Amino acid sequence: MKKVVLATAVLVMLMAAQGRAATVEMLLTDVRLINPSGVERFGDLAGSTATFEFETSSGVLTQTGGSFDVLFILPPPSTLTLYRHVATDLVLGSGAAASASSYGCIDGTFFIQLGQSACIFIPLSSYDAFETKSWDGTTLVMGNYPFMGNEACAQGDTFCEPQIMYQWTLEAQVVPLPAAAWLFGGALALLGWLRRAGAPA
């Protein structure tokens, strides 16, 4: 009888472990734009206080606090800035449309000097279709191919860059134990309890 009880309990725990989505706290460490020719433009995260959580089962990244603030800059020796993106409650990933409670794009000194605006081509939807490129349990790389470049090309913009890709790199702040580890530990605890309960007084 005890074996049946134990087997049933282990099965219930296994089902619960499999149904529980692992959520990992993440720190955004690198943001860049990459065009098809491989040219990269790095984002400065010095002003960002955003915190994120990554749900491993769905591939969704959710901003849990702070303010997302990234300043895209031209490569050295230039000191000109391209534009700044700011957002709160940003949610992206799994190839779906991005969402946020607030989002803004602010043109930098490069475009201001030219009397042009890049931000008219960079709405929140430019963060759509983010997908997980790699995830090894500690480092997460996500990216997409937003429509920004194609839209600019369609409108004859001088700075048309087809298929510019956003790429984010995040590092896990707390590495969760796999579901199997929780299951094994719980099964051992339950087995010990059953043995104690069945021992003669």
**pLDDT the model gives residue 12:** 46
CB 197 within 8 A of CB 47: no
DSSP string, 78-147: ---EEEEEEEES-EEETT---B-SEEEEEE-HHHHHHT--SGGG--GGGGTT-EEEEE-SSEEEEE---S
CA-nearest of 170, 172, 166, 98 to 141 is 170
pLDDT at 153 (0 to 100): 53
Report, as an integer, the average pLDDT of 133-150.
Answer: 80
Is the pLDDT reported for residue 187 higher than 80? no
CA distances from 58 to 21, 62, 95, 129, 130 (A): 8, 11, 10, 13, 12
Residue 78 confidence class, pLDDT cut points 50, 70, 90: confident
Please give the pLDDT value at position 14.
45
Q: In the chain, what is the greatest distance between 2 CA atoms, to the nearest angstrom?
A: 88
Indicate the length of the chain as a whole number.
201
Partnered with residue 61 across adjacent β-strands are 54, 92
Candidate from 28-32, 87-91, 116-120, 171-175 with smallest mean pLDDT: 171-175
pLDDT in tens, 43-67: 999 999 999 999 999 999 999 999 9
Mean pLDDT (whole number) for 28-57:
89
Specify the pLDDT at position 155. 52
Amino acid at 108: G
Average pLDDT, integer, range 109-120:
93
Residue 11 confidence class, pLDDT cut points 50, 70, 90: very low
Say if residue 185's pLDDT is above 90.
no
Mean pLDDT of the region 166-172? 94
Give the pLDDT score at 18: 46
Q: How far is CA 64 from CA 54, 99, 144, in A?
A: 10, 13, 21
